[in-house]
Amino acid sequence: MSKHYKVSELSAATGVPPATLRLWEQHGLIMPSRTPSGYRLYSEDDFARVHQIVRLRSVQGLNLAAIKSSLDGSALVAQEASSDELPTSRLGHEIRRLRKEKKLTIVGLAELVDVSPSVVSTLERTSRGASVPLLRAIAETLGVTVTQLTASSVETREAVVRRGEGRELPSLGKGIKIRELASGPRMMDCQEWTLAPGAGSEGFYRHEGEEFIRVLEGSFEIEVEGLGLATLNEGDAMYFESHRAHSWRSVGSKPCRLLWVNTPPTF
């Protein structure tokens, strides 16, 4: 059975006061179940949702109405997503393995990436609850890239990769599919990304290197530090230095497909 949290336990684990959790419930942001005696019980999905709300408030500065709209959009993406889009257990296993290699405790890793220990614990146990910026921070702390953290050791080194071929990486979130077109000890990390409507990075992140994006289908919105906000449609491209903080999402009613190249492979 999945774990359930009392309001006091959820508050202690997330740092959100009980009064705020009740306010969010009144606005329909979270919907805990109730015991026969009327006490609130929060599921692991509620736990992850609270962290989403915190990120949307602190990183993007959204108000409660905008947060609800964003979460409702994510829920539609989740309903449409097939089971193979969900994170695999390998991610949590790999984080735990690398953390122990670095002789870090869960608390130690949480402090280094500026999240609560419960977030790291949940991620290690279930491979769920991480945004792209959080995975980037964890990967950097553990001395690997996000691709190395999520993918198997098998590399894609063929000179010619036919349509539909290439290694599919574990998802970085609901509505995000990544197919690797080239990997290994090379100067470029080449990937094809497919994003469901509304799927995005859920915040800003940065890393070393440079990157090139070309939209193959749909529409893509990206904000880059120092360059501003841009909407890229089919055929549009963008090139920028990866040390600039960047955040992105798929916009419009149709899926978005991208060619995404990082050099060197630092994502």
Domain boundary among 54, 80, 106: 80
CA distances for 253 relative to 181, 199, 224, 247, 261, angstroms: 26, 11, 23, 19, 25
Is residue 2, in this structure, part of any structural domain at all? no
Once rounded to an integer, what is the mean pLDDT over residues 53-57? 77
Residue 121's domain spans which residues?
Answer: 84-148
Query: How many CA within 13 A on the CB side of residue 91?
Result: 28
Do 7 and 110 meet the contact criterion of CB atoms below 8 Å apart? no
pLDDT at residue 227, as a whole number: 92
Once rounded to an integer, what is the mean pLDDT over residues 227-249? 93
pLDDT at residue 177, as a whole number: 86
The first and second tokens of residue 126, run together, are 């279930």
Domain boundary among 80, 103, 126: 80
Do 225 and 244 meet the contact criterion of CB atoms below 8 Å apart? yes
Domain boundary among 80, 98, 121: 80
Beta bridge mates, 256: 195
**pLDDT, tens only, 69-104:** 776 655 434 443 333 333 445 678 888 889 998 899
**pLDDT, tens only, 3-20:** 677 888 888 877 888 888
Chain centroid offset of residue 193 CA = 14
| Same-domain check for residues 235 and 165 | yes
Rounded Cα distance between 16 and 18, Å, is 7
**pLDDT, tens only, 182-231:** 765 567 778 899 999 988 887 888 888 899 999 999 999 999 999 999 99
Rounded Cα distance between 81 and 76, Å, is 9
pTM over 0.75: no
The CATH number of residue 55's host domain is 1.10.1660.10
